[in-house]
Structure 1
Amino acid sequence: MRTALTELLGVEHPIVGFNRSPAVVAAVTNAGGFGVLAASAYSPAELDAQLSWISEQVDGKPYGVDLLVPSKFVAGDPDSLVASLRAQIPSSHLAFVQSLLDKYDIPVSPSVVDHSEVAAAITPNGAPALLDVAFKHPIALIANALGTPPPSLVSRAKEAGVVVASLVGKAQHAERQIAAGVDVLVAQGTEAGGHTGTIATMVLTPEIVDIAGDRPVLAAGGIADGRQMAAALALGAAGVWCGSVWLSSEEDIAVQAIKDKFLAATSADTVRSPTRTGKPARQLRTAWHDEWEAPGSPQPLPLPLQLMLVEEAWQHIDAAAQAGHEGALKLESFFVGQVVGSFSDVRPAGEITRRMAEDCQRRIAELGGLIAPA
């Protein structure tokens, strides 16, 4: 296929595969798509290692990285950033999270890793470290997941010949991104997993296309097969940005317990909730969300405080769920879009990429047959 996106990035299929697993990123790129590493869960050292691994696997083929650089931050002391952030977490919130672990009898996992450095990276003082790492590697695209990218990111990317992409949830967002010098706009509808807005992809995509000028627009949210990809192209998109579909891939690093829940879920089983990160993010609805929404429960904290508050608890929940713990399985959740209802099996990411591209071309050809001869 040939679109503005394939021309810009030098790929065969206008499919962007967004995932936190380096193996998924490499598989999508090697199958002719464009893999993008979701890097918000990595420390600078971890990101360096993962990008090095991807580069080795793709043998010069293009890939990108997505960083969580929000437009609004919780300020921190540059000399003791983690400590200053932790000091802002109310004791009542700490007690509430502990009460959930106690209520569901969640055992303490011996393999808990302190991810405070990751949360601290989502601040003015921490974010530059991740940018420094990203630009050390041969990335072809850098995406900003939240808000308008800072001028320093855009200027560094331009100097390095790296495409800048940004996710938008409404037309006003796109106007700010265009003014900031973004090269590619990702119109992410509310159906998408993770941080997202309230406007549906079918409505949002043509709105963004109409104001994007000559910038390629990617459609995101509710796209997991060739039919949906063909619809996105018909709306004027130059390609698709897919995230949730890779959660059903063999290479995804999600624990088997959550993959099983995904396979059993319907498209009605997700919720936009700030209870994981501090910003509304679509995820599989479970008892975790019921508890936070119950009368008397505290309000979620802003990003990154909520992330720091619940991260260790989620490591305990994930480990216990993987072991089949009944209480943990009730709480277990992860970020996923409404297309979760279409998950029926687990397949290699490369096969998912190729099937989507082939099915899209077939659907487009079939649509051509609907036009009556003159």
Structure 2
Amino acid sequence: MRTAFTDLVGVEHPLAGFNRTPAVVVEVSRAGGLGVLGATMYTPDQLDAQLTWIEEQLEGRPYAVDVLVPARSRAAVGPDPAIPAEHRAFVDALLEKYGIPPLSEPVDPFGRIDASLETNTSAGLVEALLDVTFAHRPALVANALGTPPPAMLERARAAGVPVAALVGKREHAERQLAAGVDLLVAQGTEAGGHTGGVATMVLTPEVVAVAGDVPVLAAGGIATGPQLAAALALGAAGGWAGSVWLASHEDLAGRAIKDKLLAASSSDTVISTSRTGKPARQLASAWLAEWAAPGAPAPLPLPLQPMLVREAWERIDAAAERGVATARDLESFFVGQVVGSMTELRPTADIVRDIVTGCEARLRELCGR
């Protein structure tokens, strides 16, 4: 299927697959889509190693990098920020209530999205991540945190790399277009992770209407062939999928959270600020319920909330993987409403194939062929 998106990045299928796991990125691109690496969880050295490995595996096939670049520089937060004592006490009491044991050994913070949000959105590290990205050969660079600053756009132009931006409202799209982005990702509220309040079915045609010649991908609720076909029918040039890869063999998530994802229904997600300080859709759990209960403190803004809860989540994840039942009650992860269609673990390549062939079949049906 040829669209403005496939022409822009040189792929066979109008499907972008976002994931933090390099192996998933490689398999999506090998299968003819565009694998997109979530870069912000990595240090610059780690990102350099991962992109080197991806390029070795793909042997020239296109891939993309997704970063969080604030429109305004964010100063680095010190090691002991002014987090209210009330919030620290709340987290300590929550862990004690659920019997979550201390860590037996330190956990690498760059294996966690929570840790990356507190560090890798500061000005110095953002620049370092961009340095690494543009030293490699991505077919696209995406920004998921507002309008890319002019310096990022200038670097991309100089490198000949198109820039994508995620938007949750038509007004966001208009600002991105004025800045000069090359691709818009219209992310509906169904999507996992940081998200807005407008549904993909409503948002996508609104963004397409103002985008002109700039291609638009639909995100949020893209996990099957008919859903990709629906995105194309709405005027999108393809789909941006994220949650569905959590049910792949290659994704690096632990078995405890994968088991919960596979058992969940489409109504088992909640938008909460309790993880990152920004509204993010994630799997419902006791953690989210405790933060939403009467008397709980309001979550802190980014980057303070991730700093507050990072160690707590390291402890929860470790305990859940050891089979501690109360930790599994708390366990959660960023995932969209398509979680209800994720019922078994499969190879990434098979997921791509099924989405693409299912889309083609539905389009033939709609055309009466």
TM category, shorter: over 0.9
Q: Number of paired residues?
A: 364
Counterpart of 1:56 in structure 2 is 56
If the length of structure 1 is used for normalisation, what is the TM-score?
0.94
Quick check: 2:44–2:125 contact (8 Å CA) kept in 1? no
Quick check: 1:121–1:129 contact (8 Å CA) kept in 2? no
If the length of structure 2 is used for normalisation, what is the TM-score?
0.96
Deviations 1:177-197 (A, max 9, x none): 001111000000000000000
What's the CA shift for 1:307?
1.1
Q: Distance in 2 between matches of 1:41 and 1:313?
A: 17
Structure 2 CA distance for partners of 1:117 and 1:222, relative to 1, 3 Å: closer
Quick check: 2:13–2:356 contact (8 Å CA) kept in 1? yes
What's the CA shift for 1:308?
1.4
| Aligned with 1:93 (options 74, 87, 105) | 87
What's the CA shift for 1:124?
2.7
Q: Report whether the alignment pairs 1:38 with 2:38.
A: yes
Counterpart of 1:47 in structure 2 is 47
User: The residue matched to 1:17 in structure 2 has which SS?
Assistant: strand
Quick check: 1:82–1:117 contact (8 Å CA) kept in 2? no
For 2:298, give the aligned amino acid: Q
Q: Distance in 2 between matches of 1:73 and 1:98?
A: 32
Counterpart of 2:240 in structure 1 is 241
For 2:263, give the aligned amino acid: A
Counterpart of 1:225 in structure 2 is 224
What's the CA shift for 1:243?
0.1
Aligned ranges for residues 101-140 of structure 1 at < 5 Å? 101-109=95-103, 110-115=105-110, 119-140=118-139
Q: Report whether the alignment pairs 1:327 with 2:322.
A: no
Q: Distance in 1 between matches of 2:291 and 2:343?
A: 30
User: The residue matched to 1:215 in structure 2 has which SS?
Assistant: coil
Unaligned runs of 5+ in 1: none
User: The residue matched to 1:135 in structure 2 has which SS?
Assistant: helix
Deviations 1:23-81 (A, max 9, x none): 000000001000000122112222112111111111110101111123466534xxxx4
Q: Distance in 2 between matches of 1:337 and 1:272?
A: 10
Deviations 1:123-178 (A, max 9, x none): 23331111111111111111111111111111100110111000000000000000
Quick check: 1:230–1:361 contact (8 Å CA) kept in 2? yes
Deviations 1:212-268 (A, max 9, x none): 010000000011000000000000000000000101011001101111101110010
Q: Distance in 1 between matches of 2:7 and 2:239?
A: 14
Aligned ranges for residues 196-345 of structure 1 at < 5 Å? 196-345=195-344
For 1:168, give the aligned amino acid: V
Quick check: 1:170–1:204 contact (8 Å CA) kept in 2? yes
What's the CA shift for 1:357?
0.6
Quick check: 1:74–1:303 contact (8 Å CA) kept in 2? no
Extract structure 1 runs of 4+ deviating beyond 6 A: none
For 2:89, give the aligned amino acid: A
For 1:31, give the aligned amino acid: A
For 1:88, give the aligned amino acid: A
User: The residue matched to 1:276 in structure 2 has which SS?
Assistant: coil
Quick check: 1:73–1:303 contact (8 Å CA) kept in 2? no
Aligned ranges for residues 56-205 of structure 1 at < 5 Å? 56-71=56-71, 75-76=75-76, 81-83=77-79, 86-109=80-103, 110-115=105-110, 119-205=118-204
Q: Distance in 2 between matches of 1:138 and 1:19?
A: 18
* Alignment RMSD: 1.4
Counterpart of 2:364 in structure 1 is 365
For 2:197, give the aligned amino acid: T
Deviations 1:298-355 (A, max 9, x none): 1111111111111121111111101110110000000000000011111111111111
Deviations 1:70-116 (A, max 9, x none): 3466534xxxx433xx3232222222111111111111222422455
Counterpart of 2:12 in structure 1 is 12
Q: Distance in 1 between matches of 2:62 and 2:310?
A: 32
User: The residue matched to 1:224 in structure 2 has which SS?
Assistant: coil
**Percent identity between the two aligned chains:** 62
User: The residue matched to 2:82 in structure 1 has which SS?
Assistant: coil
Structure 2 CA distance for partners of 1:225 and 1:238, relative to 1, 3 Å: same
Q: Distance in 2 between matches of 1:119 and 1:332?
A: 20
What's the CA shift for 1:118?
5.7
Q: Distance in 2 between matches of 1:281 and 1:71?
A: 20
User: The residue matched to 2:148 in structure 1 has which SS?
Assistant: coil
What's the CA shift for 1:358?
0.8
Quick check: 1:248–1:346 contact (8 Å CA) kept in 2? yes
What's the CA shift for 1:117?
6.7
